[in-house]
Amino acid sequence: MTIPKRQLGPFTVSAVGLGCMNLSHAYDVVPSVQDAAQLLDRSLDLGVTLLDTAALYGMGDNERLLGKAVGHRRNDFTLASKCVLFGKDGKRVLDGSPAAIADTLEASLERLQTDHIDLYYLHRLDRNVPIEDSVGALVRAKEAGKIGAIGLSEMSAETIRRAHAVHTIAAVQSEYSPMVRNPEIAVLDACRELGIGFVAFSPLARGMLAGSVRGDDYVEGDIRANMPRFSGDALAHNLSLADRFFALAGEAGCTPGQLALAWLLAKGDHIVAIPGTRRVERVEENLGAAKIALSPDTVEQIDELFVPGAVHGPRYLAGAQAQIDTETFPDEELAAG
């Protein structure tokens, strides 16, 4: 399968990559290591050339998985990982200090069984550390040959500009889907202006726009159970919006997941999507979206269906939202805390 390519800094990658988080934690039942390894290997065979992981995912297990499963194929893909958020004694830690970044990087290199990570992100903004100091730590890592390019995740246009003034930023990653439009406030424009690639995580709205969420009876450990828009009355309302989206997919002659991804890719040629999945057939479906050209009318209908305020419930509980630097809409629901 020939997949359209897009640019992330110095890297040319498939327009649809693979977010690897759910192969180790987060959603539904985690697959076996063998099944996860087979999916990673098959994804590369199908044309995926961007694999995205992080020190936090599975408390390091996700990086171990990639190192073991596809480390022997390092020349076949761009490897992206993240620091600042990591696990310690089974708990999530936020630390953007240069010392913590250096330690996290060394541990990630060991887990990934490599001496070089192509694209290394600051996973979140540590408000106790100047962004210039955190970026400076990555500059030193790049000079030492341990990383190839620098990225930021869930950061505002202002923070992006400050970071970019220290060193060229190759990519900015944030949640972006028809249901989560925050990057449209300022980040997408800032990336376009500065020549920075944009990577959309959770492009299928954590499964809601792929039809895999129909109720809030999540298995233990599923992170959606603690996301207000994925339970109760908010979920019921949001599923009604999803049903209307599914109807648009039928009219467009594609699956709902493909419609969400095609909509994203139509928003700018500097945008790359990294949906996650545990099923090879979904990888094939997602990659097919990169070849779908939506009509301007279809894009507009999706825009109008999910105007800011249409989706009910905050993205996160208060503690997690406090670590998000990306701009919020004036009328956006935010969790109290």
Closest to 152 in 3D by CA, of 175, 176, 170: 170
End-to-end CA distance of the chain: 48
The residue behind tokens 């994925």 is: 230
The sign one gets for the Cα dihedral 221, 222, 228, 230 is: negative
Whether the Cβ atoms of residue 53 and residue 80 lie closer than 8 Å to each other: yes
Which residues in the chain belong to E strands, given as ranges?
5-8, 11-14, 18-19, 50-52, 78-83, 85-88, 91-94, 117-122, 147-153, 171-175, 197-201, 271-274
The dihedral region occupied by 203, where left means phi > 0, alpha psi between -120 and 50, and beta the remainder, is alpha
Rounded Cα distance between 277 and 285, Å, is 11
The sign one gets for the Cα dihedral 225, 228, 230, 235 is: positive
Rounded Cα distance between 275 and 52, Å, is 10
Whether the Cβ atoms of residue 325 and residue 159 lie closer than 8 Å to each other: yes
Rounded Cα distance between 220 and 225, Å, is 9
> 210 is written with which tokens?
């792929």
CB neighbourhood size of 324 (10 A): 20
Q: At how many degrees (to 10) do helices 296-305 and 256-266 cross?
A: 100
Rounded Cα distance between 3 and 13, Å, is 9
Q: Out of 57, 120, 121, 316, which one is annotated catalytic? A: 57
Confirm whether 121 is a catalytic residue.
no
Could you list the active site residues?
A: 57
